[in-house]
Amino acid sequence: MTKDMHKHVTIDDRLRNSCKDATHINTANCLKIVEDNRNTVFGSEHDFENIHDVDEYRKKVPLADYEDHRPYMEKMMEGDMNQLLVYDVVGFCHTSGTLGVQKHIPMTDIELERFSNYYEIYQDKVISECGGKRLHLSTFRILPGEKITTSLLFTEIYYKNLFEKGYLDMDEYVGGETLLFEKEPGEIIFAKAWAALSEKNITLIESIFLYDQLHFFGYMEENWKEVTDAMKTGVIPERLGLSDRVKDYLLSLPKDMERIEEVCRLFEEGFENIVGRLWPNIRMLSGISNKAFVFEDTALARYAPDISKYYLCYCASECYMGHPMNEGDFRYVMMPDNAFFEFLPYKEQDEYREDESFADTCLPNEVEIGKQYEIIYTTFSGLYRYRMGDIVRIVGFYYESPIMEFVFRKNQFLNIAGEKMGVRQIEEAVNSLKDEGIIVEQYCFGASVERYPGKYLAGMVIDENCNVSDPDLIAGRLDEILCGNNSDYKDLRELQLLDRLDVAVFDRDTYKEFLRDNGLGGGHNKPKHVASVSFRERSFEKWKRMRDRKTEEKTSIWD
């Protein structure tokens, strides 16, 4: 089946009705949040008591980012919950901030109720129509029914809530509750592969990010013999760190030698279209993506060339902003129920302006098709007129609700697997090397996605008087610093969804040639610390070898 065969509209009646009344719902959300939270610390400071319409709210409450909210959030983390909101807080989720300091966002009962099960409704429909099993490649590190005592990922809180509200039918999932929720997952991808290969009738493969599926298929390509040997012998390697609960589940699966021999034969034949050959009834791949992740479609084509994709949602830990209009489409319709939305007109020069009073926001019914805007939202989780930095283009309307395409995030450029590494985080990491005697004169980071897992590549010019110039040592130290700067990067490194970065050290002339070879030469002389396009790993290795030859030649002259 081809992608175009399943360009189905993914919107259900609930969302359709909300979009028909989006203008009223947006205003009502603003007034409800203000009215409910008027006696909080934030509400008192901003005179919520005397705010009676949207215009008054926008005049009295300034645009803000997380740093503006941080003092309130920190007090909430210490137990003073009346700082920002009165709603019951289920738990806190963590994500990385633009400056590398971890953010903590409260998740409330009312917010989860408004999010409802929108992540799952279209996938549920696919399963109900096609039958078969669904393979979810994520594992959430909390058990259903367990009290949340530490900050988690947004998705962990969300799926725990879905399970407890009865939205998830565990009989549909490969591995059931055991492989979907596990506090100490170890190398859970091994268990996912075992369970998936044991099941022939998989209809849907889902993950939080589509990149997770690339990692899964790449893992099977490298480790299928170890997995199938364990399936045959019932011996699970201890180094995997799987819990007894997970091991007991795997060993309880029927040993179907005919199926095991079949998958071994398919693997030996190669990994082109391996998804369709392993699971002939596969209908759809599902996960978060957008145009910034377009390389994923190309890379996935090797494993699953003609399988339809469903781009799950447009969301962040802070807010669920958009629902996909169609299967196989990056356009998202604004979710009216989930927040009070505003749109700030975006201009190129806005990146570098600190005075944000120069522009007024638009309400959703006031945006213009074709123009770019920064999304501003006030949520039911205590974020007021919040700027996450996402720039979207308005491409149409669905009834009264704008349809958006994600364009980019301001001051944030590298994002291979959801780590959202900001240029400031990279600059701080490189700058910190000077404390260890490594003086970097020039540098540029780029993403490499030619192999999996992906990684960062960095070309550098090091001060000639430095005692340390070994690329491998610098790469290892930078990797450690970036893990400290960006918690999502650290998690993805630990989960082996990102490989360690690689560094090449050049002289000044070779560095310029390297940049030109990667399409970064010419134009203005402003330093390019982050490449806007992916680095080509083969080209990177070529330039490293060229530098090594130059170093050898220089050494032989002095000898």
Mean pLDDT of the chain: 86
pTM of the shown model: 0.74
pLDDT at 154: 87
The answer to whether residue 307 sits within a structural domain is yes
The answer to whether residue 396 sits within a structural domain is yes
Residue 455 dihedral angles phi and psi, to the nearest 5°: -160, 170
Same domain, 137 and 251: yes
pLDDT at 354: 43
Same domain, 329 and 290: no
> Is residue 12 exposed (0-12), middle (13-18) or buried (19+ Cβ within 10 Å)?
middle
pLDDT digits (tens, 9 = 90+) for 26-74: 999 999 999 999 999 999 999 999 999 999 999 999 999 999 999 999 9
- Structural domain ending residue among the three candidates 361, 394, 409: 409
Q: Are 121 and 102 in contact (CB under 8 A)?
A: no
Domain that holds residue 196: 119-141+170-311
Stretch among 122-126, 355-359, 424-428 having the lowest mean pLDDT: 355-359
Q: Rounded to whole angstroms, how far apart are CA atoms 172 and 132? A: 7
The residue with greater pLDDT, 449 or 333, is 333
pLDDT at 440: 85
Q: Rounded to whole angstroms, how far apart are CA atoms 414 and 503? A: 16
Report the candidate in 461, 380, 447 with the shortest Cα–Cα distance to residue 418: 447
Average pLDDT of span 421-449 = 84
Amino acid at residue number 362? C
pLDDT digits (tens, 9 = 90+) for 350-390: 544 444 444 589 999 999 999 999 999 999 999 999 998 88
Same domain, 43 and 174: no
The answer to whether residue 79 sits within a structural domain is no
Q: Is the dihedral of CA 147, 151, 155, 158 positive or negative?
A: positive
Average pLDDT of span 15-24 = 96
Partners of residue 340 on adjacent β-strands? 378
Q: Is the dihedral of CA 71, 72, 76, 80 positive or negative?
A: positive
pLDDT at 101: 56
End-to-end, the C-alpha distance of the chain in Å comes to 65
Same domain, 327 and 216: no
Same domain, 239 and 199: yes
Report the candidate in 391, 398, 404 with the shortest Cα–Cα distance to residue 329: 404
Same domain, 129 and 270: yes
216 by DSSP, 3-state: which?
helix
pLDDT at 551: 45
pLDDT at 6: 41
The residue with greater pLDDT, 465 or 98, is 465
pLDDT at 224: 96
Same domain, 294 and 185: yes
How large is the angle between the packed helices 211-233 and 295-303, nearest 10 degrees?
30
Task: Count Cα atoms within 13 angstroms, Cβ side, for 212.
Answer: 23
Q: What is the b/e burial string over 127-162, where b = at least 16 CB atoms within 10 angstroms of the residue's CB?
A: beeeebbbbbbbbbebebeeebeebbbbbbbbbbbb
pLDDT digits (tens, 9 = 90+) for 225-270: 999 999 999 999 999 999 999 999 999 999 999 999 999 999 999 9
Stretch among 235-249, 380-394, 440-454, 540-554 having the lowest mean pLDDT: 540-554
Q: How confident is the model at residue 436 (pLDDT cuts 50, 70, 90)?
A: confident
Q: Rounded to whole angstroms, how far apart are CA atoms 348 and 436? A: 37
Please say if the pLDDT value at position 3 is more than 50: no
Report the run of H or E that residue 506 belongs to, with start and end: strand 502-506
The answer to whether residue 89 sits within a structural domain is no
Percent of the chain scoring above 90 in pLDDT: 56
The answer to whether residue 105 sits within a structural domain is no
Same domain, 418 and 398: no
Length of the chain measured in residues: 559
Residues with Cβ within 8 Å of residue 224, at least 6 apart in sequence: 193, 263, 264, 267
Same domain, 351 and 305: no
The residue with greater pLDDT, 12 or 280, is 280
Residue 436 carries which DSSP code? G
Residue 140 carries which DSSP code? B
Q: Are 417 and 485 in contact (CB under 8 A)?
A: no
Return the number of other C-beta atoms located less than 10 Å from residue 58's C-beta.
20
pLDDT digits (tens, 9 = 90+) for 181-232: 999 999 999 999 999 999 999 999 999 888 788 879 988 988 999 999 999 9
The answer to whether residue 291 sits within a structural domain is yes
Q: How confident is the model at residue 296 (pLDDT cuts 50, 70, 90)?
A: low
What string of DSSP letters covers 77-100?
Answer: HTT-GGGT--SPEEEEEEEE-TTS
pLDDT digits (tens, 9 = 90+) for 478-526: 999 999 989 889 988 988 889 999 999 887 768 877 887 777 754 434 4
The residue with greater pLDDT, 90 or 359, is 90
CA distances from 14 to 17, 62, 161, 337, 445 (A): 5, 32, 20, 10, 44
**Angle, CA 134 vertex, CA 130 and CA 138 arms, to 5°:** 155
The residue with greater pLDDT, 510 or 286, is 286
The answer to whether residue 109 sits within a structural domain is no
Q: Rounded to whole angstroms, how far apart are CA atoms 222 and 389? A: 38
Q: How many folded domains does the chain comprise?
A: 3
- Structural domain ending residue among the three candidates 409, 441, 457: 409
Residues with Cβ within 8 Å of residue 553, at least 6 apart in sequence: none
Same domain, 251 and 285: yes
Same domain, 466 and 509: yes
Report the run of H or E that residue 36 belongs to, with start and end: helix 22-36
pLDDT at 293: 58
Q: Are 98 and 389 in contact (CB under 8 A)?
A: yes
The answer to whether residue 368 sits within a structural domain is yes
Residues with Cβ within 8 Å of residue 528, at least 6 apart in sequence: 444, 515, 520
Residue 19 carries which DSSP code? H
- Structural domain ending residue among the three candidates 291, 311, 331: 311
pLDDT at 447: 87
Q: Rounded to whole angstroms, how far apart are CA atoms 442 and 421? A: 19
Q: How many helices (H) and strands (E) does the chain have?
A: 20, 18
Same domain, 299 and 348: no
